[in-house]
Amino acid sequence: MDAASDHPESHTHLGQIKKQTGSRLALSLFLTLGFTVVEALAGVIANSLALLTDAAHNLTDVMALGLSWYAVRLTALPSNSQKTYGYHRAGILVALANSTTLVLISLGVFYEAYGRLISPPPVRPQIMAAVGAVALVVNVATALLVRRPGERDLNLRAVFLHLMGDVASTLGAVVAGILIYFTGANWLDPAVSVLIGCLIVYTAWGILRETVEILLESTPRDVDMSAMVDDIMSVDGVLGVHDLHVWSLTRQLRTMSAHLLTEDVAVSAGTRIQSEVSQLISKRYNISHATLQLEAAGGDRDALYCDIEGVVHSRRR
């Protein structure tokens, strides 16, 4: 006997949210792309690594926004016989690609900055400060466009962190330009680039770690499995739990499967048990989809966390 439960969130409402999110991403993409070209040209003219670094970071934002926009469109597609869970993981793959790209770009920045720290070339601080100030406004505007959708979606959160990294890096370029203008310390330009690179790695690491955990179907960090078992056992009629699995399809979409031991009860009583357990884990652990299999108590049972590989080998013998 199996059961599944979902949050009563209308597909129409979700469709409207995805459409609005897509529009915000598209606007952010065009704003960022236009300014990236301007900033790159300014970096060449000013001979500023800080501006060129920020332009390179903005270019990755363009790619991130484009991939995220495509992922939002994919996740809106319905499930089918080949993709029974739909395309929810598309956003996770994009988040993984975006965070990995950020780390690789930072390594390139560190390499270039090392050479400039040893022998700092002259820069034009006026251009650095002026272009950086305009970039700051553009980056804040684009970050605000994706802030609210990013609170629930890991893909969009990765984009938001991309953009917030730009806010910090452009602010650094402005400060560096002002300081170089008054002090002539050209080494501040590559030094700011190193700080920008460190910030990028820091923001990317959290997203990278979370996406890998989701792809490995790890238990969400805020779910205490021992407490969950105790909660399930507290439901009237549940005598035991085994073969328990909890994982995430996306940051917000969590799923669970478990075998529940009960007395040899009627179907109506079993349905009540399943419904109560589904409501409990939905409310306390934000698990939107649960598959619960009821079994009559007695005899040998699998362990709490089933060894899938061991089961496969035993069946082949």
Kindly compute the dihedral angle of the four CA atoms of residues 276, 281, 282, 287, in this order, to the nearest 10 degrees: -140
CATH number, domain 11-215: 1.20.1510.10
For 173, 223, 304, the CA distances from 308, given in Å and listed in that order, are 53, 21, 12
Q: What topology does CATH give the domain 225-316?
A: Alpha-Beta Plaits (3.30.70)
pLDDT in tens, 258-282: 999 999 889 999 999 999 999 999 9
Q: Is the pLDDT of residue 175 over 90?
A: no
- What average pLDDT does this structure show over 112-136? 82
Between CA 282 and CA 255 the distance in angstroms is: 10
The whole-number pLDDT of residue 79 equals: 81
| Total-model pTM | 0.66
Identical fold between 11-215 and 225-316:
no
User: For the chain, which residues make up each domain, given as ranges?
Assistant: 11-215, 225-316
Q: What is the mean pLDDT of residues 93-121?
A: 83
How far apart CA 25 and CA 69 sit, in angstroms, is: 6
Query: pLDDT tens, 177-228?
Result: 888 888 888 888 888 878 878 877 887 888 888 889 989 989 998 899 999 9
pLDDT cut 70: percent of the chain above it: 83
